[in-house]
Amino acid sequence: MKYTQLGRTGLKVGRLVLGTMNFGPQTDETDSHTIMDAALDAGINLFDTANVYGWGENKGRTEEIIGNWFAKGGDRRDKVVLATKVYANMGTEDEAWPNHDKLSALNIRRAVEASLKRLRTDHIDLYQFHHVDRNTPVEEIWQAIDVLIQQGKILYAGSSNFPGWKIAQANERAGRLGMVGLVSEQCLYNLAERRAEMEVVPAAQEYGLGVIPWSPLHGGLLGGVIKKEVEGGRRASGRSADALTSTSVRAQVQAYEDLLDKHGLEPGEVALAWLLTRPGVTGPIVGPRTAEQLASALRAVELELSEELLAELDGIFPGPGPAPEAFAW
């Protein structure tokens, strides 16, 4: 496994990030533990979760599964760079009190204590704001984070789904308070969705944030979805199915699959390998439901894409162009 640094930190992390969103809802605890063991053995050491994962009545279940894995010992916790998130209301629909969500100092304080308990650890390495909170002053958020850092309950703060201007605002305010600020940003970024290249990635690079793309296969659209339909009768679902109703998108995906078939390459592995060539990217999040899916993702780390192939991929899925030049008419 190749390693890099996580933004402006001293943390060394693998070029893939283990996403745990499926642990609980789709993958049971035993299989989840098997996947985590395999990921750590392969050199993936940044594990990403969120307090809300498990969803619905099972909010928090994913953190519990990770906590039970840590409790098995074997230096599991010491070897992992642990990332979780705060924002969602963790109560049931009938218990959704107004101060039990988002990024108020009160909710951050409550949420971190609950996550630490579920994760069965005394600290979180990377505590991430899951979404922008338009109603809480940035200074209040940083005050709460500073207290948690001083208490040793978190080491660093990161963002998720932040626009470029919000990254700039958050880090400018942090700088005035003498704080490190955000060290990472999780954003939607893949071959089929490259808008992050306009402002989010440039802002992250300017302020020294590591970029951690989520949905690197764009909900399965870049994972050989048309070929699976043809060969196995497995129809696309969710975001992939919606996207393929567009004639132009379907033509793009077909051209993508035809190109990689000509080179003897797997679409999902190429989509991950492409992200690893992008400036500023720390590592894409992979969310395997099975050990086999993890093994496929690991092959992408060793996959070298030629300049010719990269140019052909750009031709099929063109990016917005470099900022600020791309803003000009």
Share of the chain above pLDDT 70, in %: 96
- Residue 127 annotated among the catalytic residues of the structure: no
Catalogue the E-assigned strands of the chain.
3-5, 12-14, 17-19, 46-48, 81-86, 124-129, 154-160, 182-188, 210-214, 285-286
Determine, yes or no, domain membership for 259.
Answer: no
Per-residue pLDDT of 67-86, as tens digits, reads 999 999 999 999 999 999 99
Check residues 242 and 182 and name the one with the higher pLDDT.
182
Query: Which H/E stretch holds residue 20?
Result: none
Determine, yes or no, domain membership for 254.
Answer: no
Average per-residue pLDDT for the chain: 94
In CATH, what number is assigned to the domain containing residue 120? 3.20.20.100
> Which of 17-31, 110-124, 158-172, 230-244 shows the lowest mean pLDDT across its residues?
230-244
When pLDDT is averaged across residues 140-149 and rounded to a whole number, the result is 98
Determine, yes or no, domain membership for 136.
Answer: yes
Determine, yes or no, domain membership for 228.
Answer: no
Amino acid, single-letter form, for residue 166: K
Per-residue pLDDT of 185-202, as tens digits, reads 999 999 999 999 999 999
Q: How many domains does the chain have?
A: 1
Task: Please check the confidence at residue 178 and state whether its pLDDT lies above 90.
Answer: yes
Provide the whole-model pTM: 0.95
Determine, yes or no, domain membership for 148.
Answer: yes
Tokens 């300049």 -> residue:
307
Task: Please check the confidence at residue 234 and state whether its pLDDT lies above 80.
Answer: no
Determine, yes or no, domain membership for 174.
Answer: yes
When pLDDT is averaged across residues 277-303 and rounded to a whole number, the result is 97
HEC readout, 183-227: EEEEEECECCECHHHCCHHHHHHHHCCEEEEECCCCCCCCCCHHH
Name the catalytic one among 3, 53, 127, 189. Answer: 53
Determine, yes or no, domain membership for 156.
Answer: yes
Task: Please check the confidence at residue 282 and state whether its pLDDT lies above 60.
Answer: yes
Determine, yes or no, domain membership for 280.
Answer: yes
For residue 28, what are the domain limits? 3-219+271-306
